[in-house]
Chains A and B, each alone.
Chain A
Amino acid sequence: MLKCNKQGQTGETISWVIATLVIIGILIIFLYISSTMAVAKKISIGDLITGLSHNSLVLTEKTAIAHQLAGNKNKEVIDKIILDYDKANK
């Protein structure tokens, strides 16, 4: 019986097996990335507003207008209370 040389075929098969493993590995990595991105689908006000204060811009403006009307009376005390409250509720 005649037999062909099988060494080349074996090498090719191993390449295919490695390729399959690489494909599965890449899929798993992408699956992990998509699941991580899915968790990050929570949109909070902090993502929309940049700046030190967590307090929304509307309320910050209201506070600033009230400070102006009151001639900045007790401004430091009030701003500290607001900042502390913001930190506590962040």
Chain B
Amino acid sequence: MADKETVVGPETRISGEVRGEEDLIVRGRIDGRVQLTQTLTVEKGATVQADVDVRHLVVSGTVVGTIVASESVKLTSTARVVGDLASPRVMMEAGAAYRGRVDMGDIAAARAAVSSRAVQRPAASEKLAIHPAPPRMATAAKAVVSGKAAAPVAPAVPAARSTIPAAAVGALGPASPPAFPRVAGAMGAMSPAWAKKKIRRR
């Protein structure tokens, strides 16, 4: 059908919703939501910060968000992924960094959960806050999880996290304001006489 494949180039960013019935290759960046009936390929250097609902997912770059793949997910050695993952087949190569839950069971339930959510919301920060626990590694024979993959998770996560500073700050935001006036008050009460004098002198 499509004479040209769909490519998001390295210097291009899409924010919003992407839907389609063909393969999509991301070399740049997509924020929001991706829904495809075919394969999503996230190449090395690319970032997808989105809820993903596809048939096949191949990640060599960074994905932050909830993933539902109706057939398979493959995380290559350069993949950096944070977010829950539901797919009947999950492959992880040595070197892949992943944090989140893996579910190889009920895809329909996971898909319903994802599709019921609004598009423009920081999925990643919420996931990080709710599920700080290490991933429950898949036990099915199809999943290839190397021993090496577990170790690099910690050093790799800051790289993934660095892509979502705004979201993370947003999550922390509501907690910090009450602290601020209290700190200011304490500072004021504690500020020594010499400090006040200095100010007066100026």
Question: Are A and B a genuine interacting pair, yes or no?
Answer: no
Binding site for A on B (CB under 8 A): none
